[in-house]
């Protein structure tokens, strides 16, 4: 949160140092790319679990956007590029949420359960989206479901795709007056 609220404005590349510290921590703990969730071996299994839910969420959002006439007018080439970017950004966020925080919460808990671990990880993820109340609610629910999926399947690629799809659809159908352009931190106040 320090990066979102202060560092990025004074030291724009500070995030690389933070990421380096996260990676160093994971290396010191012996975590591998596969154990963190960067794996292809269970991609198909994970997609079978997530895709029906993802399609339902996107369909409901599109129908609601159509009924309330809030669907943005975007060019298809921009939408495709934005979706690709958002999947990459979603993969990064899922890596931080699950590959780091979910794993750490579970490791530091006295009596870890999937429910408690996911709840704490989701609360941390939600807090990172302050003060955007809309994103805080979405990330609390989405972070919980994401952490539960991660604890069961450990596949960040599936989660990155789901994160990108849901983020893209929310941008497409939720009006600016509610989403604040999906900004967090000080940028939220400027929009």
Residuewise pLDDT in 10s, the chain (191 residues): 666 777 777 778 888 888 899 999 999 999 999 999 999 999 999 999 999 999 999 999 999 999 999 999 999 889 999 999 999 999 999 999 999 999 999 888 888 899 999 999 999 999 999 999 999 999 999 999 999 999 999 999 999 999 999 999 999 999 999 999 898 988 888 87
The torsion defined by the Cα of 138, 157, 188 and 14, in degrees rounded to 10, comes to 140
Residues in the chain: 191
What does the DSSP assignment read for 91-144? HHHHIIIIIIIIHHHHHH-SS--HHHHHHHHHHHHHHTTTT-HHHHHHHHHHHH
Please tell me the distance from the alpha carbon of residue 84 to that of residue 123, in angstroms, as a whole number.
27
pTM score of the predicted model: 0.92
For residue 19 the two structure tokens come to 């990421």
Sorted by sequence, the CB contacts under 8 Å of residue 148 that are 6+ apart come out as: 114, 115, 118
């Amino acid at each position: 949160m320090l990066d979102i609220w202060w560092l990025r404005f004074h030291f724009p590349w500070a995030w690389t140092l933070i990421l380096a510290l996260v990676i160093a921590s994971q290396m010191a703990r012996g975590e591998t790319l596969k154990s963190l969730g960067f794996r292809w071996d269970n991609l198909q299994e994970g997609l079978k679990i997530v895709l029906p839910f993802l399609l339902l969420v996107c369909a409901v959002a599109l129908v609601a956007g159509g009924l309330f006439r809030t669907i943005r007018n975007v060019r298809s080439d921009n939408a495709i590029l934005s979706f690709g970017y958002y999947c990459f950004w979603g993969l990064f966020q899922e890596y931080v949420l699950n590959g780091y925080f979910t794993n750490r919460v579970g490791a530091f808990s006295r009596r870890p359960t999937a429910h408690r671990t996911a709840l704490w990880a989701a609360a941390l993820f939600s807090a990172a989206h302050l003060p955007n109340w809309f994103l805080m609610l979405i990330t609390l629910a989405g972070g919980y479901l994401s952490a539960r999926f991660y604890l069961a399947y450990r596949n960040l690629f599936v989660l990155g795709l789901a994160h990108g799809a849901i983020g893209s659809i929310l941008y497409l159908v939720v009006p600016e007056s509610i989403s604040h352009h999906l900004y967090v931190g000080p940028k939220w106040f400027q929009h």
